[in-house]
Structures are given as structure tokens and as C-alpha cells.
Amino acid sequence: MFVLSADGRPIVLSLRETTIKVNHVIPYSDWIHEYLPKLGRRIFVIEVPAVEVRPEYQHLAKAVEELELAFKHYREGRYSEAILALRNIIMNHLLTEIREVEKEGRKIRERMLDSRIKDLVLANVPEAFRNEYKIVIKAVEDILRKALNSHLSKFIHLDTGKLLRMPLREDVEYLLMLTSSLLKYLASLSIMGST
């Protein structure tokens, strides 16, 4: 026993843990182009400009706030909360009006873009192009409606807000990019004449 232990003590092996704290900032571009590829991940960065101005119309302003919350949830990996925030943006702030329309011989209820948003956009575009912008607004409305009914509804019950299944990160990214692009477009056009 004496031969195995040193200095007459019964300890054969002693381990000590040492921690060194190093603060080092990795620039975003280096992380994307140098570090992630070495970790086996390639990503493509899409930059969507944020809504930089706060619209005066309440629904647009609330939609911008909710969008910031959706991005926060996404960055934190809380995808179900991000999906719920996107649902709220589209249903409670953009497609706020419900009208009965006839499709394929039957009447259905369909969500429409808030008429105040339409009016703000049309008031700020050149009068010579108003008819073209009415078509553009209709297309934006259709895109939002399809995102709501064809994509969001797969993950969240539209009426109750109850999670049906967990969305993939890619689904949340797609819906964030789509919603943020359309919201920035509508917000920018709604205040164009007032700046």
C-alpha cells in the first residue's frame, strides 16, 4: 500500500478541475462563413429589412410589435409561440374583416384585408396607378389568406389558437419571411405620403 500511495497517504490519484473563462466575440460574418461550415452546417442568410417606422394606424403598429415578438420567439427556438404570434398578426391585425363570398356555388366566410389599411395604401400611391395598386392589394390579401388557411392552419387551430402540431424551424422561417415582407410593404405604403 505504501508503494502505491505517495508520501505515505492512501491517495493513489488526485484529479483537479480547472476552468478558464475566455471572452471572445466572433463577428457574425465570421460565424456564418468560417465557423459554421467547419461544424458541418451551411446556411444561406436572407436579410429582410425590418419595419423601421412605426405606422400610425393601430392595427399596423400592433402587427409590427407582434412581428418583433415572433422573431424573438424564433431566435429562442420557441417555434410554437412564433407561429401563434404570426397567426395573431394575420388574423387580428391584417385580415380583420370577414365577408361572405360565393365560391363554387356555395357561400363561405372569407377573411379580407382591413379596409383602413387598403385606404391608407391607396391614399399614398400616385392617383394614376390606383387601379394597379388595387390589384396589388388584392394579391397581398390572397397571399396572406393562403398562408393562413394552407400553412398556419396545419400547426395551429385558427379559431382557438391551440397548437395542433409542432412546426419545423423551416416552416417558421418561411412564415416569418413572408409575413415580415408583406407587413413591411403595407406599413411603408401606408405612411409614404405622411413622411
Per-residue pLDDT tens over the stretch 143-168: 999 999 999 999 999 888 899 999 99
Q: Which three-class secondary structure state does DSSP give residue 48?
A: coil
CA distance 153 to 168: 14
Per-residue pLDDT tens over the stretch 122-145: 998 899 999 999 999 999 999 999
CA distance 149 to 30: 39
Query: Are 113 and 137 a contacting pair, CB within 8 Å?
Result: yes
CA distance 165 to 153: 10
pLDDT of residue 44: 63
CA distance 71 to 128: 37
Cell 356555395 locates to: 106
Query: Residue 187's closest CA among 88, 83, 56?
Result: 56
Looking at the chain, the whole-number percentage of residues with pLDDT higher than 90 is 51
pLDDT of residue 182: 93
Does the pLDDT of residue 193 top 60, yes or no?
no
- Cα dist. 152→6, 85, 87, 99, 110 in Å? 68, 11, 7, 20, 16
Work out the mean pLDDT of the chain and round it to a whole number. 85
